Structure 1
Amino acid sequence: MFITPARIKAVAIAGAAAAALFTAGCSNDKDGTMPGMNHSASSSAASPSAAPAARTDFNDADVTFLQQMYPHHAQAVEMAKLVPSRSQNPRLLALATAVEQAQTPEMQQITTLLQSFGKPAPAAAGHGGHAMPGMMSGEQMSALQAATGAEFDRQWLTLMIEHHTGAIDMAKTELAGGVNAESKALATNVIADQQKEIDTMRGMLAQS
């Protein structure tokens, strides 16, 4: 077959165009990227975020207060739970409910604060010993559990006044030595709330 000069020229032009396209493609891919893709942006998005800095706005007094107040609250809640099955006094039933509803959320607040300080969550088991002011001994708790009626009411009020007084003493120590704003706010609430309940319980004892 006879190939004309014009056909030879067309084939040459097509070959040159293909070579140019190939060269451009290699140039775009030489840095490991493909057209339309931004690898630097995706790499940045995939990098892990920096860990939050550890808190430094607390001292040993704050930690001690929180670690001791948690089991202290736990015992008060345990005492409150005894009331419905042992007393028929409406005022005592209402007071026990108030104690439980106030101190259970504060226990969660204490746990959250300690974890934010990098400290382990407190444990209520065994109430952390009996070194804290106002904590009931095992014998006192057993006697309270065995009582019913008016005798239970009297024991409960007497013991809870002592328990609340101890909590207030601990809160005052925190206000004097702590530096963390949240811990000190909790201590302030403990003093205000539990002093009101002490006044109520003293009045109830006087009328019994």
Structure 2
Amino acid sequence: MKRKLAAFALLTTVSLSLSACSDDSGSGKANGEGTSSSQSTAEFNDADVTFAQQMIPHHEQAIEMAQMAETRASSAEVKTIAQEIEAAQGPEIQTLEGWLEEWGEDAPSGEMDHGDMNHGSGDDTGMSGMMNETQMEDLMSESAADFDRMFLQMMIEHHEGAVEMAETEVQDGENADAIAMAEKVISDQQSEIDQMKKLLGS
């Protein structure tokens, strides 16, 4: 009987030890993964926040201009560029807003007054290429014959401002996803700038 009890006690001890090792290993892996994910989400700096907060209203104004072109432009090429701008920048706005929420930072309200921004001035807002209220009204009031030219001129400057902001993010940002978007903005919008300049010259 004593031998049986001793053997049972030994088996119980071994079983508990193995179970504890297994539990410790599993929880350690889970905790490690959770920590890694948490650290990845937290990797952002002030430049990333500024990029997101400023690019949202910048994109919103580009979409506003593009929507004008869809109904007022006389050139099929201008309408196509406008559609491409809206299709690209709408989803980017949603992504930028999602990042700001994850980072615990405020997103722009979407009610920014264009009149507070100087045309291509790079003033205190830091948003180079933004049109003011008068310029937006002038674009809206242009006749079909002149709309295309004004739209292209304004959108080229607007895109150049976005490229400038994106270059700052590439240089100063920390978040890998934000930097990747900035690089895409530079590539996409520089290509559109080249297209629009060709249309102006034709």
- TM-score, structure 1 length as denominator? 0.72
Partner in structure 2 of residue 84 of structure 1:
70
Matched positions, count: 157
Select which of 189, 195, 202 maps to 2:197: 202
Q: Distance in 2 between matches of 1:181 and 1:53?
A: 14
Q: Distance in 2 between matches of 1:70 and 1:185?
A: 16
Point out where structure 1 has 5 or more consecutive residues left out of the alignment.
1-49
Cα drift, residue 148 of structure 1: 2.2
Q: In the alignment, residue 168 of structure 1 is paired with which amino acid? A: V
Q: Distance in 2 between matches of 1:92 and 1:125?
A: 27
* C-alpha contact (below 8 Å) 1:75/1:127 kept by paired residues: no
Q: Distance in 1 between matches of 2:38 and 2:193?
A: 41
Partner in structure 1 of residue 24 of structure 2:
none
* C-alpha contact (below 8 Å) 1:135/1:166 kept by paired residues: yes
* C-alpha contact (below 8 Å) 2:52/2:100 kept by paired residues: yes
Partner in structure 2 of residue 171 of structure 1:
166
What's the RMSD between the two structures over aligned residues? 1.8
Percent identical residues: 44
Point out where structure 2 has 5 or more consecutive residues left out of the alignment.
1-33, 118-124
- Map of 1:104-123 to 2, 5 A cutoff? 104-123=90-109
Residue 125 of structure 1 aligns to a residue whose secondary structure is: coil
Q: Distance in 2 between matches of 1:108 and 1:148?
A: 33
- Larger helix share, 1 or 2: 2
Q: Distance in 1 between matches of 2:183 and 2:93?
A: 15
- TM-score, structure 2 length as denominator? 0.74
Cα drift, residue 56 of structure 1: 2.3
Cα drift, residue 82 of structure 1: 0.2
Select which of 111, 123, 131 maps to 1:125: 111
Pairing 1:100–2:95 present: no
Structure index of larger Rg: 1
